[in-house]
Structure 1
């Protein structure tokens, strides 16, 4: 097994490593040192647990380990299932030095991290993301939370993990649609702040679709490096970190409108990024040619670029007003000046947004 790559999220005493490499689940000597107490609760789901739960438990020999296996899917990222995790911690008699391990995709990571943030006002948690989307995005940065029927991630907390363990071997078991969904978040990093990385993705689209190990590892590392830098500079999304939500205001509205789980998160973000790019062009803020490049790359990565059939512009616009980036009832969208140049734009008119939605 080759030495994994290590990146660091630098947040003073709350700094933590991101390890990226093949075979990391079996390298428990590396990640077990991030666990400080005796009680460990592993949270996984019905898809991931049969594949990887035993390997993680094996690496925790000698500790008091219990596990919670949740149903798979965004529709299960709820307060009710968070309560299931908290009840398990209570039954375990977990102390303040306990650790929650999130073993799964973004739903598991968000929910397990939120439970860890709530238990005794905050205990340790470890991210072991097993989907590409979680590896390049949700596992890094400490955003945790659950959904409400009214909207996505409306209940949550900032709570940084002790470490992020990205075993690239777990991507072998990932269904093709889930894998492609993760590529949308990879594209986002190039779109918002690294035109050279965007060009690299254009050149390596075929290799990424084929899951070439070298290309995938490079894409993960460059994505995590970008996010780690942003989080270090703006942990609680007071400014620059909001740029990471490029396409997400549209995307979250699409997820909510279509019913959680109908559109995968990355699929909704892909559509949302293109809508944001088109809106930027419509407002005269960016060249239309860059929107066309974005659309071409998303299509090369086999991601959707059109609204789902039956989408309603008025419904989507109403849901966009629930976005957490909004202030004083005014929409604040992440748009761009072109490739690699994202920006926060307040007070975009409903008329302009409605027009882009109706033309999509």
Structure 2
């Protein structure tokens, strides 16, 4: 057990849970689960993917075995193209084979895709068993693993099939990011930038200061360094925890977490799942949402330029893909955030604040997409 680790509590009325952050924490997974009330001998199914299992599976399993859990592992393919009901069915089959009971546990060891699928499987096995989230990507650490949103994709749209199912524990070990491909790290930075824009001006300033200190900007774990990385993890996790505690099931405030996601999901869907990483699509969606906000007089071009500089510094894509604007508009109508046929956009009003609008004209959306392409293309 590390001598010190940061605890951020997701303060839900019914069942609060901790987000634990410290280097080396993965080796304490078993003992931390015992502290959370799980008993030795409990049947545990670890769901992971081939890459994560190769890098981190042995350490996680050793920790669980040391705590006398009855452990089995299921390795599934990750990637948005595999985030389907068929993969969840494979998790259900493994749960049946391992005889998981109501008091059993599923551990999601991987990125956001593994976490979403394992969480949804836990939510639907025996009408709901416990899940622990052990994220191994930056995106999952700061966003996907916290908050209980689980699900899989439908051919008609992203995450249309799902359930709210809160984890019992979220364990974040920054050291596992050493094996994360740089493209995946950059994708996670999109969510960090999102949190800065929607509600944390101090975090935004921290990111800008980091850009000024190093020519590598925000594009790698090495560029950030361990101290700033820990700070970004803590501030992002705390921001997510505050919003989830205030609005567990996305009845109001939690919708602000969808900043950049409305158009980002359209990019993922129309380009084919797997073409763009989720964070890359979110970055494109934030650029477009920023241009919509400028066009509607909600925030300044100067703040939009500041957002763009962070996205560029993180090595994220800025070229809007060659998608038919009419197809984009049609795809938006299938988004799960549509209310009464109106697409709800999260739009920035300043660094650290956003608003939700359902009166964005189609012409404004088309113009914003053209603007992203014209500003970013050579």
Question: Shorter-chain TM-score category?
Answer: over 0.9
Aligned to 2:282: 269
When normalised by structure 1's length, the TM-score is 0.97
Aligned to 1:50: 54
Aligned to 2:309: 296
SS at match of 2:14: helix
Aligned to 1:226: 239
Aligned equivalents of 1:46 and 1:192: distance in 2? 35
Aligned to 1:243: 256
Aligned pair 1:347/2:353, yes or no? Answer: no
Aligned equivalents of 1:237 and 1:334: distance in 2? 13
Aligned to 1:317: 329
Counterpart contact for 1:101–1:126, Cα < 8 Å: yes
Note the residue ranges of structure 2 that are not aligned, 5 or more in a row. Answer: 373-378
Residue 12 (structure 1) shift: 2.2
Note the residue ranges of structure 1 that are not aligned, 5 or more in a row. Answer: none
Aligned to 2:375: none
Residue 36 (structure 1) shift: 2.4
What are the superposed Cα offsets for residues 211-240 of structure 1, whole Å, 9 maximum, x if unpaired?
411111100100001110010000001111
Aligned pair 1:95/2:96, yes or no? Answer: no
Residue 13 (structure 1) shift: 3.4
Aligned to 1:212: 225
Aligned equivalents of 1:290 and 1:280: distance in 2? 10
Aligned to 1:8: 9
Aligned pair 1:34/2:47, yes or no? Answer: no
Aligned to 1:137: 143
- 1:31 to 1:22, Cα distance in 2 relative to 1, 3 A: farther
Aligned equivalents of 1:31 and 1:63: distance in 2? 10
1:182 to 188, 198, 202: 188
Q: CA RMSD in A?
A: 1.3
Aligned to 2:296: 283
Aligned equivalents of 2:176 and 2:332: distance in 1? 34
Q: How many residues align?
A: 359
Counterpart contact for 2:299–2:348, Cα < 8 Å: yes
Aligned equivalents of 1:203 and 1:232: distance in 2? 30
Residue 2 (structure 1) shift: 4.5
When normalised by structure 2's length, the TM-score is 0.92
Counterpart contact for 1:188–1:246, Cα < 8 Å: yes
Aligned equivalents of 2:56 and 2:274: distance in 1? 23
Aligned to 2:92: 86
Aligned to 1:330: 342
Moved more, 45-54 or 98-107: 45-54
Counterpart contact for 1:35–1:99, Cα < 8 Å: no
Aligned equivalents of 2:210 and 2:80: distance in 1? 30
What are the superposed Cα offsets for residues 5-52 of structure 1, whole Å, 9 maximum, x if unpaired?
111000123100000010011123224433625110000001101111
Moved more, 102-111 or 22-31: 22-31
Counterpart contact for 1:133–1:182, Cα < 8 Å: yes
Aligned equivalents of 1:75 and 1:329: distance in 2? 27
Counterpart contact for 1:279–1:353, Cα < 8 Å: yes
- 1:290 to 1:70, Cα distance in 2 relative to 1, 3 A: same
Counterpart contact for 1:249–1:272, Cα < 8 Å: yes
Aligned equivalents of 1:107 and 1:59: distance in 2? 23
Moved more, 51-60 or 77-86: 51-60
Aligned to 1:255: 268
